[in-house]
Amino acid sequence: MCLLIFQYRVVPEAPLLVGFNREEFFGRPAWPPRKVQDSPRVMCGIDRRAKGTWLGVNEHRLLVAVTNRLKARLPDAPRSRGLLCRDLLATRSCEAAIALAQTELAGNRYAGVNLICADPQRAAVVYGDDRIEVEDIQPGLHVITNDRLDDPSDPRQALARSLINRQPPASAEQFIEISRGVLATPSRPDGRPGIVLRADDRGTVSSTLIAVTSAAESARYLYASGPPDDHPYADLSHWLRDVLAGK
């Protein structure tokens, strides 16, 4: 149950601010984020089994993320949702990504999925279960896991939102510092889930903080290669800056 925190068009110089905890089986390895293609330039992590991604940014300031979603009518041999995420990152805008997502999902080739597509002009979630629905994302703070955006019945979404709203971030750096702490929140003593998840065979396997900024030289990309409550974030900002600058 991946969790994504998204602050959209609140900070003028950083329209896309994202914190993302990836949950996956511990035995499923991944390559850490890097520049992976040249046309367009894309930065993302890569799942070593299916070669897809869970989150990425391209040179057009298009950000795409994927979380799982329940679906009753599953295809016999579903295509990787991470590969679809990479396909969307090859487009030039949120509009184009949404259109491609709708076309791809219409063929019932995938298991259930939420596709978060955003650029500085538009942001939306494409819900892909037994029907396809597009929900536009308005400016503000949003959270999504494996159901709908800002689902009031999801305790982890509610926890993440309440922790951030204690001191609403007014800059990219504040968002990163506050979200770093939120994404590292462990399970609570009363047994209720925290933000970091741990089970016998799966849980939080990585964490990412991204600031897509108007000026390429101030973009930020931090990545923890494990649960962020006990793994440090590496600063990979130089690669994202190169991608946004078209290098």
DSSP the chain: --EEEEEEEEETTEEEEEEEEEEEETT--EEEEEEEEETTEEEEEEETTT---SEEEETTS-EEEEEE---SS--SSPPPHHHHHHHHHTSSSHHHHHHHHHHHHTTT-S-SEEEEEE-SS-EEEEEESSSEEEEEPPSEEEEESSSSTT-TT-HHHHHHHHHHHTS---SHHHHHHHHHHHHT----TTS---SS-B-SSEEEEEEEEEEE-SSGGG-EEEEESS-TTTSPPEE-HHHHHHHHTT-
Fold for 3-244, please state it.
Penicillin V Acylase; Chain A (3.60.60)
Q: Which range (29-33, 68-72, 79-83, 198-202) has the least confidence?
A: 198-202
Split at pLDDT 50, 70, 90, the class of 243 is: very high
* pLDDT (average), residues 38-44: 93
* pTM to 2 decimal places: 0.96
> Model confidence over 164-186: pLDDT tens digits?
999 899 999 999 999 999 999 99
Q: 63 pLDDT exceeds 80?
A: yes
pLDDT attached to residue 99: 98
pLDDT attached to residue 117: 98
pLDDT attached to residue 185: 96
All structural domains of the chain with their residue ranges:
3-244
